[in-house]
Amino acid sequence: MNDLELSDLVKRVLFDVAPDLEGEPVDPKIPFREQFEFDSMDFLNFIIGLHQASGAQIPEADYPQLASLDDCVSYLKARHL
Amino acid sequence: MPSLGADMDEGTLVEWLKQPGDRIHKGDILAVVETQKGAIEIEVFSDGVFRDCLASPGDRVPVGEVIAILDSGKASAAPTGKAALAVPVADAKALQEPLARGRKVTPAARRLAQESGMDISRVVPDGTGVVGLQQVRAHAAITGPPAVPTGRIDLKEMRKAIAAAMARSKREIPHYYVSSDIDVTALMDWLAEENAARSVADRLLYAVPLFCILARTLLETSELNGQYEAGEFSPSQSVHAGIAIAMRGGGLIAPAIRDVAGKGLDELRVSLTDLVGRVRSGRLRSSELSGATVTFSNLGERTADTLMPIIYPPQVAIIGCGQIAPRPWVKDGEVHIRQIMSITVAGDHRVSDGRSAARFLSRLEKRLAKPEVS
Amino acid sequence: MTATRTLTYREAIREALREAMQRDERVFLMGEDVGRYGGAYACSKGLIEEFGEARIRDTPLSESGFTGAGIGAALGGMRPIVEIMTVNFSLLALDQIVNTAATLRHMSGGQFSVPLVIRMATGAGRQLAAQHSHSLECWFAHVPGLRVVAPATVADARGMLWTALQDPDPVIMFEHATLYNDEGEVAAEGQVSCDLDNAAIRRTGKDVSLITYSGSLKKTLDAAQQLSEEGVDCEVIDLRSLRPLDDATIMSSVSKTARAVIVDEGWRSGSLAGEISARIQEQAFYSLDAPVERVCSVEVPIPYPSHLEMAATPQAEGIMAAVRKTLRK
| Per-residue model confidence as pLDDT tens digits over C28-75 | 999 999 999 999 999 999 999 999 999 999 999 999 999 999 999 999
Confidence of residue B144 (pLDDT cuts 50, 70, 90): low
**CA nearest B136 in C: which residue?**
C289
Chain A environment of B300 (Cβ under 8 Å):
39-40
Inspect the interface and report whether the beta carbons of C328 and B132 lie closer than 8 Å.
Answer: yes
Neighbours of chain B (3+ CB pairs under 8 A): A, C
User: Do chain B and A touch: 3 or more Cβ pairs under 8 angstroms?
Assistant: yes
Region of poorest pLDDT, from B141-150, B183-192, C146-155:
B141-150
Instruction: Indicate yes or no: CB of A40 within 8 angstroms of CB of B152.
Output: no
- Measured between beta carbons, the chain B residues lying within 8 angstroms of A36 are 248
Nearest CA in chain C to B135: C289
Cis amide linkage into residue A28, ω under 30° from 0: no
Nearest-CB residue to A36 (from B200, B248, B300): B248
- Tell me the residues of C at the B interface, defined by beta carbons under 8 Å apart: 258, 285-290, 328
Best of C207, C280, C286, C289 to disrupt the B interface (most B CBs within 10 Å) is C289
Between C22-26, C108-112, C189-193, the lowest mean confidence (pLDDT) is in: C189-193
Among chain B residues, CA nearest to C290: B106
Residue A20: which of B152, B272, B302 has the nearest Cβ?
B152
Whether A32 contacts B191, CB under 8 Å: no
pTM above 0.80? no
In this model, does residue C306 exceed pLDDT 90?
yes
B137 touches chain C (CB under 8 A): no
Q: Give me the percent of chain B exceeding a pLDDT of 70.
A: 87
Q: Is B281 on the interface with A (CB under 8 A)?
A: yes
Say if the Cβ atoms of B280 and A58 lie within 8 Å.
Answer: no
Interchain contact, A37 vs B280, CB within 8 Å: no
pLDDT at B37: 72
Q: Which residues of B touch C285 (CB under 8 A)?
A: 107
pLDDT bin (cut points 50, 70, 90) of residue C319 is very high
CA-based nearest residue to C156, from C328, C12, C6: C12
What angle do the packed helices B185-196 and B207-218 form, to 10 degrees?
A: 130
Q: How far is B82 from chain A (nearest CA, A)?
A: 46
ipTM surpassing 0.85? no
Check CB contact under 8 Å for B152 and A58.
no
- The Cα B157–Cα B142 span in angstroms is 12
Q: Cβ of B301 and A40 within 8 Å? A: yes
3-state secondary structure chain C: CCCEEEEEHHHHHHHHHHHHHHHCCCEEEEECCCCCCCCCCCCCCCHHHHHCCCCEEECCCCHHHHHHHHHHHHHCCCEEEEEEEEHHHHHHHHHHHHHHHCCHHHHCCCCCCCCCEEEEEECCCCCCCCCCCCCCHHHHHCCCCCEEECCCCHHHHHHHHHHHHHCCCCEEEEEECCCCCCEEEEECCCCCCCCCCCCEEEECCCCEEEEECCCHHHHHHHHHHHHHHCCCCEEEEECCEEECCCHHHHHHHHHHHCCEEEEEEEECCCCHHHHHHHHHHHHHHHHCCCCCEEEEECCCCCCCCHHHHHHHCCCHHHHHHHHHHHCCC
Taking only the tens place, the pLDDT of each residue in C202-261 is: 999 999 999 999 999 999 999 999 999 999 999 999 999 999 999 999 999 999 999 999
Give the pLDDT confidence score for residue B122 in this predicted structure.
77
| Least confident window among B29-33, B95-99, B196-200, C162-166 | B95-99
Question: Cβ A20–B196 below 8 Å, yes or no?
Answer: no
State the average pLDDT over residues C280-297.
96
**A:B CB pairs within 8 Å:** 54
CB B258 within 8 A of CB B274: no
Residues 2-61 of A with CB under 8 A from B: 17-21, 33, 36-37, 39-42, 44-45, 47-48, 51-52, 57-60
For residue B116, the model assigns a pLDDT of 77
What is the rounded distance in angstroms from the CA atom of residue A62 to the CA atom of residue A47?
10
Asked if B86 reaches chain C (Cβ–Cβ under 8 Å), the answer is no
Yes or no, beta carbons of C328 and B133 under 8 Å apart: no
